[in-house]
Amino acid sequence: MVKKILVPIAFSKYSQGILNYAAGIAEPLGAELLVVNVINERDLQAVNKIASFGYKVDTESYLKTLKSEKREELKKLTASMTLPDEQVSFSFRVGDPTNELLKLVVDKNIDMVIMGIKTHDVRHIFAGSVAERMFHKCPVTVVSYRDEEISERLLKRFMRHRKKEE
């Protein structure tokens, strides 16, 4: 039985769809949604590097501003959700995204993770995507959300390869 669903969001253009999809699964199950945003430790290291050059910026102020902005954005994203407030919680984590998500899965007894996928960019080339690493390492079911745009793109790619095989 699914009682707790972890929903990592990166505040991308796909976040609304991911949240709506997760809420649609959680509602009939009576499951709790734990929405999390992981701030990558590397971003904070970059802020420290900039500060070392004499710029007036520090990680505490950066984190405070970032969290405040993301809380406001989250209010907009969750405004249309029909789940009761006590069924939805939100938190920030700082660290390696995959490790932080895995810790949450274990520490909070998560039953399912619903997350989006991103396209392959430069960061993926060097480190792999968080979603990819979660699929390999996560001890619970991971559901990969795809919106219509991604679904159509993947279908077109498959159909091109299929035609080449025929």
pLDDT tens by residue, the chain, 166 residues: 999 999 999 888 889 999 999 999 999 999 999 999 998 887 777 776 776 777 777 778 878 888 899 999 988 998 888 888 899 999 999 999 999 999 999 999 999 999 987 655 444 444 458 888 999 999 999 999 988 888 888 899 899 989 888 8
CATH number of the domain within which 161 lies: 3.40.50.620
Pairing assessment for the beta strands 112-116 and 88-95 based on DSSP bridges: unpaired
pLDDT at 43: 75
In the chain, the largest separation of any two C-alpha atoms, in whole Å, equals 62
Rounded Cα–Cα distance for residues 18 and 13 (Å): 10
Residue 37: both structure tokens together: 């945003």
Number of domains forming the structure of the chain = 1
Predicted model pTM: 0.82
Q: Could you list the residue range(s) of the whole structural domain that residue 125 is in?
A: 4-165
3-state class of 65 per DSSP? helix
pLDDT at 128: 58
127 sits in the region (left: phi over 0; alpha: psi -120 to 50; else beta) called: alpha
